[in-house]
Copies of this chain bind each other. A is one copy, B any other.
Amino acid sequence: MPSSTHTVPAARVLPEPADLPAPLPEPAPAELRLETVLGALSDPLRLFIVRKLLLESERFDHPCSWLGIDRPKSSLTHHYKALREAGLIRQRQYGLERRSHVRVADLNDRFPGLLDLVAAWEPPATP
């Protein structure tokens, strides 16, 4: 069992103040499809996004601009939407900002070990 030692923090989810904005439309945990999730992660930029959200910010939602990716906003919107529709991230609207975090609990439950692979990934260069 290679993925028995999880380096990814399990559901260290934030103490939700319960007045959070509702998440944007996303697939339910039972609807997550492995081939869709893998396809979403096959893009290096999206893999970078998920890994950064996973490693550096499990506790907080972060706006799209937080990642510091030098791409047009419309490109980032495209990738965030792809990640959300694949079920990898959850997005909430905070005023003008749309903050995202990885659905760690759902993904660990449905695809155990997957996030460990993402966390262990080494980006080839600066995307």
Contacts and interface: CB of A to CB of B under 8 A. Distances in A.
Contacts of A3: 112-113, 116
Interface in A89-127: 108, 111-114, 116-117, 121, 124
Contact residues on A (Cβ < 8 Å of other chain), bracket: 20 to 34
A42 interface: yes
Contacts of A112: 2-3, 113, 116-117
Contacts of A1: 116
Contacts of A121: 34-35
A44 interface: yes
A35 B39 contact: no
Contacts of A35: 41-44, 47, 121
A41 B35 CA distance: 7
What are the 5 closest A-B residue pairs judged by CB atoms, nearest first? A113-B113, A2-B112, A39-B42, A3-B113, A38-B42
7 contacts: A34-B47, A34-B117, A38-B38, A38-B41, A39-B39, A113-B116, A113-B117
